Structure 1
């Protein structure tokens, strides 16, 4: 008799566990699919000048916005980003990297395209807008960095309008940053140029500092100032 009662309790426990697992699976599927608010890819194009000649570089980044499944009255939106910084090559072999967001403020890889591609009435989704290029407002232009040595992550400095020509030479200057919707594949390959990106120590230092990056980053002025360790988080994102 006792054994039979024990088996009944065990059966009930197994059923409860199975139901819990089922609910978790349903919630995960809902979060991944049914909760998608908007999904699109955009091409960011950076235009520079060197000695009066125009140089352009571009990369494609993917954005998915999901409604948080923990939604009681007010629903939070989770933005997932997949993409890499855009490399700009100059004729003297030097390179600049246009990061995924504004690294001296809160992370804006997900919000920057929204500021440039603001939905038009009646509040269309970004994915429903025309595929025309739009200039990014100055306050949302991503941070641009230069490496004195691409094999050394701590050699990165912020390239500002004041110091850009001194870093790259060739009379280099930024002309504009634009974004436009696209169906092209997401750009890859930065890890081949910066293999240290995948090192655990670099990732850990970056993630440890990202929440307070606006305290760690220097204000822009006429000097080339060294970045703090948070910036690798802005070189590459793969949230799914």
Structure 2
């Protein structure tokens, strides 16, 4: 094979790859099946008094046709922040935007009128246990590796002995997306997982194992803040 032919074949392969990538990236613009904002409200009670926190998340659903190299083409683009829950004792718990691919908007009833979730505007729906957002906290807000999982049933361990979870609701809204997590976790805009440096030094001591923790830390920023849109 001559050098000229090799160069031409290489350029041809690069152009083809770029074209395929371009089609995959741009076709989403033409296959939006739904776009909406919803308000998540979490209701707690502390010492007999209500504690209510809420925030707005935006989602856009893309369902383009699959290409030969793809097996799953639909996806949800998300814009929003994890919801801070501020307890009177000073502790802050965060309700994640998503966790392990699950999003709270799945709590909306299926098959809305007209086929879009905006048809549910003005109606509030209770979030069942399978779709409740994952709760986390940090023993040190300046240290992302001090992360701890929080159980709704054991919220008193963080929020105080008389804290309890009441319920959660979601509702379609036109309100702007809530952005507030960086006020409590300033590292969220610059964090890069360096867990290898912390292995054996007590990092993630509240999580099941190192491998679970590594995966969590790799995706932590996406769980706390998304800006897909």
Q: Is 1:145 aligned to 2:136, yes or no?
A: yes
Give the root-mean-square deviation of aligned CA atoms: 3.3
| Alignment-derived partner of residue 86 in structure 1 | 83
| Alignment-derived partner of residue 238 in structure 1 | 227
| TM-score, normalised relative to structure 1 | 0.70
Residues in 1 aligned to 2:22 and 2:133: alpha-carbon distance in whole angstroms: 37
Q: Alignment length, in residue pairs?
A: 200
Q: Does the 8 Å CA contact 1:68/1:75 hold for their aligned counterparts?
A: no
Q: 1:175 to 1:29 in 2, by over 3 A?
A: same
Superposed, which structure 2 residues align to 1:138-217 within 5 Å? 138-202=129-193
Decide which structure has the larger Cα Rg and report it: 1
Q: Does the 8 Å CA contact 2:191/2:221 hold for their aligned counterparts?
A: no
| Alignment-derived partner of residue 59 in structure 2 | 63
Unpaired stretches in structure 2, ≥5 consecutive residues: 1-14, 196-206
2:102 to 93, 97, 108: 108
Q: Does the 8 Å CA contact 1:87/1:96 hold for their aligned counterparts?
A: yes
Residues in 1 aligned to 2:85 and 2:115: alpha-carbon distance in whole angstroms: 33
Q: 1:139 to 1:25 in 2, by over 3 A?
A: closer
Residues in 1 aligned to 2:58 and 2:155: alpha-carbon distance in whole angstroms: 28
Residues in 2 aligned to 1:77 and 1:231: alpha-carbon distance in whole angstroms: 23
Q: Does the 8 Å CA contact 1:119/1:129 hold for their aligned counterparts?
A: no
**Shift of residue 192 of structure 1?**
2.6
1:44 to 28, 40, 43: 40
Q: 1:124 to 1:48 in 2, by over 3 A?
A: same
Q: 1:237 to 1:58 in 2, by over 3 A?
A: same
Unpaired stretches in structure 1, ≥5 consecutive residues: 1-16, 206-216, 220-225
| TM-score, normalised relative to structure 2 | 0.73
Q: 1:158 to 1:25 in 2, by over 3 A?
A: closer
Q: Classify the secondary structure of the residue corresponding to 2:118.
A: helix
Residues in 1 aligned to 2:23 and 2:73: alpha-carbon distance in whole angstroms: 19
Q: Does the 8 Å CA contact 2:27/2:64 hold for their aligned counterparts?
A: no
**Shift of residue 194 of structure 1?**
0.7
Q: Does the 8 Å CA contact 1:27/1:69 hold for their aligned counterparts?
A: no
